Amino acid sequence: MEIPKKIISPLKIKEGTILNLNQRRCLTCGQIHPGHREVQLVKDMESGRKMVLKMNVDQEEVNLVERLSHPVIVSGFGAEDDEGHLMLLMDYIEGPDFYDYLASFAGDPLINILPRALEILIRVGEALIYLLGKNIQLGEFYSCHILVEKNTLDPFIIDFHYTLQVSSDTIPRYMEQLAELLKLTVGKVDIYSQSFSVIDTTSRKDGTPRELEKIISKCTGTSTPPYKDISSFVEDVKRVREEYP
């Protein structure tokens, strides 16, 4: 399939420029996997702007992405090549995913990472509320779907499998993953330890704030009452965040 000539031109493909949807950490720039080239890094010929291109999409998928307008959600639009093949173009966010961002603080005291990590989770929670308000759900939601822009440190959610129609398990699924992200932040769990290097948290001597323990329990439903909506989670995290400079 040809790239739309009037919109973008392909970059020279090299290690680190293919995004592989078949891998767990699918949305960071990792190694090339030759068998999967539906998602590629490309750039605009006139502006030089880098974008992520996904081929083999349908009009409904494009329509969903074009409906989204939120500062934490990666934006995108549809385009056609000369033969009329539809594809999806999304902004390219250069920077680590949430896991790798935390890994950059490996071994540091919790106080060094907690304020910024909580700020990211607040903004991610607000983006989830926005999506739910539009009856749109993410296909997947893990730490690899949260990118941290390397210069501004702003968080962005990116997904290639949005669906229209929130299911009954959407909020519980989001809550479970938000709990995992909090656990990862405070060094309680490493969700990628089987495949990737373990984050060293041995020097985090200050422990987990009691209020965060409560939030994690309410996310997982191990305390009463559990969270019934994302808004309650966001408000509780905001209160904890206010305790840190």
DSSP-assigned letters across all residues of 187-227:
TS--TTTTTSPPP--TT--S---HHHHHHHHHHHT-SSSPP
Domain with CATH 1.10.510.10 in the chain: 98-241
Please give the pLDDT value at position 196. Answer: 38
Please give the pLDDT value at position 27. Answer: 32
C-alpha atoms less than 13 angstroms from C-alpha of 11 in its C-beta half-sphere: 18
Backbone angles phi, psi at 78, to 5 degrees: -90, 155
Domain with CATH 3.30.200 in the chain: 8-91
**The domain defined by 8-91 carries CATH number 3.30.200:** yes
Please give the pLDDT value at position 218. Answer: 93
| CATH class assigned to 98-241 | mainly alpha
For the entire predicted model, the pTM comes to 0.79
- pLDDT by position in tens, the chain (length 245): 444 444 444 433 333 333 333 332 333 333 323 333 467 777 666 666 777 888 778 888 888 888 899 999 998 888 776 677 788 888 888 888 898 898 888 777 778 888 999 999 999 999 999 999 999 999 888 888 899 999 999 999 988 788 888 888 899 999 999 999 998 888 765 444 433 344 444 444 456 678 888 999 999 888 778 898 999 999 999 999 998 87
Backbone angles phi, psi at 224, to 5 degrees: -115, 135
